[in-house]
Every structure is written in structure tokens, then in C-alpha cells.
């Protein structure tokens, strides 16, 4: 994308500068509301990438991922432009809610319209001002309320370009996912802007491992996209587990759940994953794995009702390989890595 002059929200961002821009959103009664974004423009032109978080207002990990990412000294060598949008659903974050005040899910209303519902109007502003100016987007999510996700990239694995970047991200799992109507990913891809969706951790919580894998992942993708210098050339590449299909396993009974398996564990068909019973009942119900696979999402609620989604299991047969890979990724994420010193954050000086 030619970007000799780069204008966003009516503000021109010069090469080698970083600027905070507030974009006007529909106000709530008399209270002005703005979408705060930060544009980092390198000294040299290159691709334009947006990184967004909290499209669902209770999914907070991505906000912290962007905060840490913004301080990385490696960004001094940026080629191209990065648009950081740490809180897309500003109304949802204020209320700790996934939704907007009109009870709509913003991620089902893209590309939006100027004259539509509140959700549709916000989607329209975000899409026109940001998404359409970009060559690539990385959208950060967590599991929905009371659930947690193993760090994973969701993308179309049949698209070579996004598969290459998904592998570069180095989350433990890449999940091929069908796109949903009205989601940012579906509509952006239709308009030629590929999206990597990072899903990790739990709603309303920070998860350190998910945050670190996320920060590293974004840097890895920008390196693979030619926007940052390859400071990691000597490190050994890690290859995520790629899975094509997955399903939520639902509780067959109601009661107190005791789980035997955790996030990232592998399960064999027929293996017991959890037990359900009731305080005054001696019956014990078992939840059993329906096929070989990896637990990539789970409920965090100790009490469940029949029909509740309890475990999200990715279908994968090579369990020994999956075990080794996931352990390797997750342990490595909590050690210091080559380019990030988490205890000594520094603000970057530009120019």
C-alpha cells in the first residue's frame, strides 16, 4: 500500500513519529466518547498493520499485550505503519461487558453502516478509519465469560499467506475456523485485508502466559512480514499444532464438576475428563472424551447445568507430538526471551 502521506482521523502522521489520535464515536447522552488509537510510523515505508483488542469489552488480555508491545525497543527499526487500537469497544470495557449498550455484539456488525444501530455505526467508523487503510490485521481476543482458551491463532489455513503468518506467530495451536457473518475477520478478508485472530486466556482476567505469547507473536508476525529486523534468526523455529476441526463437549448432567484434565492436555477417545455429582446424591456422572485431541478451551465454572459447554477439544490424533509441542511453547513463554525484558520496560524515543 503506498503510504507517502498517512492520514488517520484527519491527522497526518509523519514518518518516524508516533501519534495518539482520538476518533469521535457516538456520544452517550451528553458524554463525548472517543476511540483512542496510537499510530506508529517507521522512518521507511512498508505495510500498514492494525492490532486491535477488546472488540468484546470483557476480553482484556489484548489491552495489556498492546501496552507491552508499544514499549519494545525493536520498534525503533519499524518499516511501515502500525495502528494500535487497545480498546475497540470502549463502552463494553467501561461496563466489563462483551456487548455494547444496545446489547449487540460488535463483532457481528461489520462492516457496519453510518445510519444503522449503535453497533453498526461503531463498526462503520472502525472499518473505514482503520481496517480499510491496512494490509493486515491482528485481532486479540480471549474466551467468553467464565471460560478460558489455550493460546491459539484462528485463521483460514487454506490461505497460504495467513497460514505462513499464523505459523510465524508461534502460538501453540493454529485452529482452522469458519468465518462468522458480520465478524471483523469475515468482512475484512472479503475486502482483501487478511486477519489473524489470537484467542488466549479468560474474560476479565490477565493471563501472563497468554500475554507473553501474544507480545512475542505480534513481533514474530511483523518480522515475517518484513516490518521489523530479524533479530531472532538464530533461534530455533517452533511449529504449532495445526488443527482443522474442533467442538465443544457439553455436560450430560447438572451439578458440581471436578475436572481431571486441564487446558493444553491431550485426551484419548473414551478417557474420563471430568466428573459431575451433586451435594446430596451419590451418583457420579463421567464426562468422556469423544475423540483423540487437545483441550483448547474449558469452562471455569465449578457448577454446571446439563447442556453447558465444558471442554473445547481440537481433533488431533498424534497425541505424543501434541504433548511435546504444547509443553515446549508454554514453558518457553514464561522464560525470558531474546528481545523482551519484562522487568525493565522503557519508553521508546522516536527520531
Q: How many residues bind Zn ion (CB under 5 A)?
A: 3
Instruction: Report the nearest approach of Zn ion to the CB of residue 58 (Å).
Output: 9
Q: How far is CA 290 from CA 57, 73, 246, 254, 348, in A?
A: 33, 47, 11, 19, 50
Looking at the Cβ atoms of 200 and 276, the one nearer to Zn ion is 200
In the chain, what are the helix, strand and coil shares in percent, each to the nearest 5? 25, 35, 40
Integer Cα distance of 30 and 282 in angstroms: 58
Instruction: Report the nearest approach of Zn ion to the CB of residue 107 (Å).
Output: 6
Looking at the Cβ atoms of 248 and 339, the one nearer to Zn ion is 248
Of the candidate spans 35-43, 73-81, 82-90, 134-142, the one that interacts with Zn ion by CB under 5 A turns out to be 134-142
Q: Which residue in 18, 37, 42, 56 binds Zn ion (CB under 5 A)?
A: 56
Looking at the Cβ atoms of 145 and 242, the one nearer to Zn ion is 145
Of the candidate spans 49-57, 116-124, 208-216, 301-309, the one that interacts with Zn ion by CB under 5 A turns out to be 49-57
Q: Distance between alpha carbon 22 and the CA centroid of its chain, in Å?
A: 23
Return the HEC string of 211-259: HHHHHHHHHHHHHHCCCCCCCCCCCCCCCCEEECCEEEEECCCCEEEEE
Integer Cα distance of 306 and 304 in angstroms: 7
Of the candidate spans 19-27, 50-58, 280-288, 325-333, the one that interacts with Zn ion by CB under 5 A turns out to be 50-58
Looking at the Cβ atoms of 106 and 273, the one nearer to Zn ion is 106
Integer Cα distance of 31 and 3 in angstroms: 35
DSSP H or E run through 119: helix 118-129
180: Cβ contacts below 8 Å, ≥ 6 apart: 107, 108, 186
Q: Which residue in 70, 141, 216, 325 binds Zn ion (CB under 5 A)?
A: 141
Of the candidate spans 66-74, 138-146, 157-165, 285-293, the one that interacts with Zn ion by CB under 5 A turns out to be 138-146
**Binding pattern to Zn ion, positions 58-77, x when CB under 5 A?**
-x------------------
Integer Cα distance of 250 and 270 in angstroms: 15
Of the candidate spans 23-31, 133-141, 159-167, 239-247, the one that interacts with Zn ion by CB under 5 A turns out to be 133-141
Site for Zn ion in 243-282 (CB under 5 A): none
Looking at the Cβ atoms of 78 and 88, the one nearer to Zn ion is 88
Nearest to 113 by CA among 33, 187, 193: 187
Of the candidate spans 136-144, 259-267, 282-290, 338-346, the one that interacts with Zn ion by CB under 5 A turns out to be 136-144
Looking at the Cβ atoms of 99 and 350, the one nearer to Zn ion is 99
Residue showing the smallest CB distance to Zn ion in the complex: 141
Integer Cα distance of 84 and 59 in angstroms: 16
Nearest to 200 by CA among 139, 148, 138: 148
Looking at the Cβ atoms of 8 and 197, the one nearer to Zn ion is 197
Looking at the Cβ atoms of 169 and 285, the one nearer to Zn ion is 169
Residues found near Zn ion in the complex (CB under 5 A):
56, 59, 141
Amino acid at each position: 500500500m503506498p503510504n507517502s502521506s498517512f492520514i488517520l482521523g484527519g491527522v497526518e502522521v509523519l514518518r518516524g513519529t508516533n501519534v495518539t489520535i482520538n476518533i469521535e464515536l457516538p456520544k452517550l447522552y451528553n458524554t463525548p466518547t472517543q476511540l483512542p488509537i496510537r499510530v506508529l510510523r517507521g522512518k521507511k515505508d512498508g505495510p500498514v498493520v492494525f492490532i486491535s483488542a477488546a472488540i468484546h469489552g470483557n476480553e482484556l488480555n489484548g489491552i495489556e499485550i498492546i501496552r507491552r508491545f508499544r514499549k519494545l525497543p525493536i520498534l525503533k527499526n519499524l518499516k511501515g505503519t502500525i495502528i494500535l487500537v487497545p480498546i475497540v469497544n470502549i463502552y463494553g470495557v467501561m461496563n466489563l461487558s462483551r456487548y455494547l449498550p444496545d446489547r449487540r455484539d460488535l463483532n457481528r456488525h461489520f462492516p457496519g453502516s453510518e445510519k444503522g444501530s449503535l453497533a453498526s455505526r461503531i463498526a462503520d467508523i472502525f472499518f473505514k478509519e482503520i481496517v480499510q487503510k491496512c494490509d493486515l490485521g491482528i485481532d486479540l481476543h480471549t474466551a467468553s465469560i467464565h471460560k478460558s482458551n489455550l493460546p491459539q491463532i484462528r485463521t483460514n489455513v487454506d490461505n497460504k499467506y495467513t497460514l505462513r503468518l499464523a505459523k510465524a506467530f508461534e502460538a501453540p495451536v493454529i485452529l482452522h475456523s469458519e468465518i462468522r457473518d458480520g465478524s471483523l475477520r469475515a468482512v475484512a478478508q472479503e475486502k482483501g485485508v487478511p486477519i489473524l485472530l489470537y484467542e488466549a486466556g479468560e474474560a476479565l482476567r490477565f493471563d501472563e502466559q497468554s500475554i507473553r505469547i501474544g507480545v512475542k507473536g505480534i513481533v514474530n508476525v511483523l518480522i515475517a512480514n518484513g516490518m521489523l529486523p530479524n533479530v531472532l534468526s538464530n533461534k530455533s523455529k517452533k511449529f504449532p499444532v495445526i488443527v482443522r476441526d474442533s467442538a465443544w463437549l457439553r455436560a450430560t448432567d447438572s451439578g458440581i464438576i471436578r475436572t481431571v484434565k486441564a487446558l493444553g492436555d491431550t485426551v484419548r477417545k473414551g478417557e474420563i475428563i471430568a466428573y459431575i455429582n451433586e451435594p446430596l446424591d451419590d451418583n457420579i456422572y463421567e464426562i468422556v472424551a469423544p475423540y483423540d485431541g487437545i483441550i483448547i478451551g474449558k469452562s471455569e465454572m465449578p457448577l454446571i447445568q446439563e447442556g453447558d459447554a465444558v471442554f473445547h477439544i481440537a481433533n488431533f490424533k498424534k497425541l505424543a507430538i501434541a504433548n511435546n509441542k504444547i509443553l515446549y511453547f508454554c514453558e518457553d513463554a514464561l522464560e525470558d526471551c531474546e528481545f523482551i525484558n519484562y522487568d525493565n520496560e522503557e519508553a521508546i524515543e522516536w527520531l
